Chains A and B, each alone.
Chain A
Amino acid sequence: MLVLTRRTNESLIIGHDIVVTVLEIRGDTVRLGIRAPRDVSVHREEIYARLRAANEAAAGNAASDANLLPKPPKRPNP
């Protein structure tokens, strides 16, 4: 892991186009601003981990699992 120290208003650049800026430090909380190309998604790590776990579970569905699907309630689209 690369370890760098930054102060408020200082930044990191990752690759050529991802910029992370320390906006504010308050107690043990850091507010970060991220500038990244439109096709690069940025997530809080724990959220990414949750999503990855959920996606991995969802990837295990077999074609026959569709037989367990409930009949959808009748409701118009909003």
Chain B
Amino acid sequence: MTTVVVTTERFGELEVPEDRVLSFPDALPGFPDAQSFVLVNVPDSDVYFWIQSLDDPALAFLCAIPWGFFPDYAPEVPDDDQEMLALEREEDAMVLCMLTVHREEQTITANLLGPLVINQQTRVGRQVVLYGDEYPVQAPLAS
């Protein structure tokens, strides 16, 4: 498996397997040039990840697999997004929610309205907007 070397501000130079490179053709609201990312595990965790931009060494997002924290979270990926991601089976989708650390309050919140949905087969992802107004962009992670 070939590896890719990524220059990052937070982690220095990283060498990652090619299969951890993710393509986000639509980039992200607020970051229109961020179309390539690499998935980096938070040490000793299979629930927390960093999504590090390949285009901008300073850009990285802390994310979590949401199910353990939000057992009732059942995001329905809209048809258009499913089509764009070529998601044929539910199991192919990896869902990550972006986290925001609020240092003053010492709390961490997750964005449930706009999860990152990644097709694990093709490694193409998109920030999907869920329909319905009840999803918070800052849902507290219980500690």
Q: Which residues of A contact B (CB under 8 A)?
A: 38-41, 43, 47-48, 50-63, 65-66, 68-75, 77-78
Contacts and interface: CB of A to CB of B under 8 A. Distances in A.
Most buried by A among B60, B71, B137, B142: B137
Main SS class of interface, A: loop
Given A59-B61, A61-B61, A72-B68, 9 more contacts: A38-B84, A41-B126, A55-B29, A55-B31, A55-B127, A59-B60, A69-B48, A70-B108, A78-B67
Most buried by A among B29, B45, B71, B126: B29
A76 B45 CA distance: 14
B10 interface: yes
Contacts of A43: 29, 129
Interface residues of B, number: 43
Main SS class of interface, B: loop
16 contacts: A39-B26, A43-B29, A50-B113, A51-B28, A55-B98, A58-B62, A59-B30, A59-B31, A65-B101, A68-B106, A69-B62, A69-B99, A69-B108, A71-B143, A72-B69, A75-B67
Contact of A51 (B47, B114, B138): B114
A54 B100 contact: yes
B69 A52 contact: no
